[in-house]
Amino acid sequence: MSEIAVIGAGAWGTALAIHAARLGHGVVLWARDPARAAKMAAARENTRLPGANLPETLRITSDAADASHAQLAIIAVPMQPLRGVLAMLPARLPAVLLACKGLETGSLRLPLEVLTEARPDLIGGVLSGPNFAHEVAGGLPAASVVAAADAALCQQAQALLSGGALRLYASEDALGVQLGGAAKNVLAIAAGIAMGAGLGENARAALITRGLAELSRLVVGLGGKAETASGLSGLGDLLLTATGPSSRNSSLGMALGRGMALFEILAGRAGVTEGVATAPALLARAEAAGVELPICAAVGAMLEGRLDVQGALKALLARPVRQE
């Protein structure tokens, strides 16, 4: 029996831990707060993933040293605290899969770039794709991508985690996979704005389609592969996040489209809406590479309060016509 450590007891980390335990692995799930870890262990549930029972074979801990005995570690924390969490982990760790999406504000680094800076001793890859945590925890069919420069890590992750209702595909384009996971959250906010403002299904379809074109330009402009943007970590994740009723980014966009202020929306949320912090970092990274992202730029301006819905719509529709 293989041992897998999941670092981060949010909804996604918990869902991955449940999936791994369902496959018969020994699983340890790390929560930073000892009191929360003890409560989860006693109740065999996580309030951040309602309705999902934690298997008895899943061990919950607040001691990061427990991860050092695993064959594979999955780090499932939000993007912004990733660097701090990496610094807390023990010196001895197996290869890691980063299951976070976005860019670090300030440094503009993607997840694997943060890993390289914070823990150059570790071999790392990323896990990304169109996956809602509650569906994976419930054993519903899903597919995802594991991407790494190290082919052996991809093969190990597929061998350990692909099974049951979850199918894992491998990719060598870790850069493109990470950019898809970051950009789709910003584009999903745009799709939500269109629906919240009553702009119609035509508008949402156009935003998703042209948003995919932006994502493809970004991937290629930064050195990734165009086809990655059309795969699970690009188009697949974008479709889920831009249309799924459980999407935090899309629902935030809908609230913005209805006229709510950003601070009001965020004040009523317990979970992290990654697209909010990602938007300015993504735009800065794209600008440095000479890549134009008009839809993402409109979202960024709305999040900062520089544009309202009508202003953003006018700016996008006034752009020069061009070949598709």
By annotation, the residues acting in catalysis are 184
Spatial distance between the Cα atoms of 319 and 309, rounded to a whole number of angstroms: 16
